[in-house]
Amino acid sequence: MDILHTEKLCSDGENNVIQDDDDDVEEFEETDLAMSTDIVKILTHMMDNNIDQRIRKTTVIGLCKIILHDEHCTPNTVSKLLLAYFNPATDAEIKQSLGNFFESIIKTRKQEILCDSLIPTLVTLPETPQDCSFCEIEADVVLKYVISASRPTIRSNRLNLHDKVGLQLIRLMKDNSENKDILKLISKELQTIEISEESLKSEIAAQLETLCLQNQLIQK
């Protein structure tokens, strides 16, 4: 066997080993993601259905830690935590833990997950049954909180989350053009966000004007 042929075999062997290692890493990552997803589902279910405050507090803290460590995060999960934080019926200790969690979100520049959870939260509130404690949550307070937490001046990078929030709110208005409560809520707060893109500013202004005319909204 000549030297060139031997080198080729060695090279092929190394490539196969590297490929196998890559496959193993990818498989482990997929397994970890699946496990994280299952854990989050279990914790979320426990938070929603367990009346024992100690268990609920432990569950909430577990979810918060998972999200802060970027293990797994979905808008719906963060939305549930946001709703729990602003729910007057939430236990004081749990609310304090959630307050610390959201402060950490802001300090670590992860407000984008708050923005992503905004629409699921605003959509959930009007659909809440009258006998549910969520009825006590004031949607405008939640919206103002997310807008304030994601202001461009708070973030150190160039990403303007208010552009993203503006687009989300415009879409929500279009999807709920017959819902005057949502339209009034959003149209008022849209005027407080700091948009950087001129085209988006124009779109928001035009959309507000159109929707206000269509639904005879009175800006207060």
Give per-residue pLDDT as tens, 110-152: 888 999 999 999 988 887 777 777 888 999 999 999 999 998 7
- Predicted pLDDT of residue 68: 87
Does the residue 67 lie in any domain?
yes
Does the residue 132 lie in any domain?
no
Among 95, 73, 74, 71, smallest CA distance to 85 is for 95
Does the residue 29 lie in any domain?
yes
Does the residue 194 lie in any domain?
no
- Token duo for residue 75: 């808008």
Name the residue range of residue 62's domain: 1-114
What global pTM score does this model have?
Answer: 0.74
Beta carbons of 98 and 81 less than 8 angstroms apart: yes
- Predicted pLDDT of residue 24: 42
Does the residue 207 lie in any domain?
no
Does the residue 197 lie in any domain?
no
Total domains present in the chain = 1
What are the start-end ranges of the H helices in the chain? 3-49, 53-68, 75-86, 92-107, 112-124, 139-149, 161-175, 180-190, 198-215
Residue identified by tokens 């994280």 is: 36
Q: Which residues of the chain have pLDDT under 70?
A: 1-36, 50, 71-72, 153-158, 212-220
Does the residue 60 lie in any domain?
yes
Chain centroid, CA 161 distance in Å:
12
